[in-house]
Amino acid sequence: MATTLDIVKYPNHILEQKAQRVERIDAETQTLIDNMIETMRQAPGVGLAAPQINVPLRIVVIEYGEAESEEEEETVEKQLFTLLNPEISRMSREKEMGTEGCLSFPGILADVERSLGVTVVAQDRNGEPLKIKAEGWLARIFQHEIDHLNGVLFTERAEKVYTIEPEDPQAENSAA
């Protein structure tokens, strides 16, 4: 049974450090991944990097599905990505400004310019190689989470940072 872990909040210094490669995938790694998925879902967020739970390893979990409308939000099928040692191997030249939130920065949103498309190479939770091409919001999530592994905060990339009230509907589904 998976456990919900505490999410590290800024200004914890682990958020600004480069995470270490995962060299061994064992039962402890699998438990960590399961706990990360549970923590992300309970938060709730669309992505979580291991440094956000105070573990300096290059692991991210992302769960996302594109909904056409708010009514569809609850029923849309989401895809779960578990990535070990992910790297962005290609980024589109086309960029787009978008509003992002972060589980490690409660009450903060930021306007961040990101590439519209990325190609990510990684390993899955069993160590098998993965190559994922993502566009739009999913590409943004990959960039945000991989930044966490490199010690880069979304506020560092932001054009504008602002605080929000907990009831702000814009805060829904923007935390990664």
Residues with catalytic roles: 145
Residue that has been written with the tokens 């979304």 in this structure: 154
CB 140 within 8 A of CB 91: no
- Residue 124: exposure state from Cβ atoms within 10 A (0-12, 13-18, ≥19): middle
Residue that has been written with the tokens 């590409």 in this structure: 139
User: CA 52 to CA 120: how far, in whole Å?
Assistant: 20
Name which of 86, 82, 79 is nearest 31 in CA terms.
82
67: which residues sit within 8 A by CB, 6+ positions away? 73, 76
- With DSSP H G I counted as helix, E B as strand and the rest as coil, what are the percentages for the chain, rounded to 5? 25, 35, 40
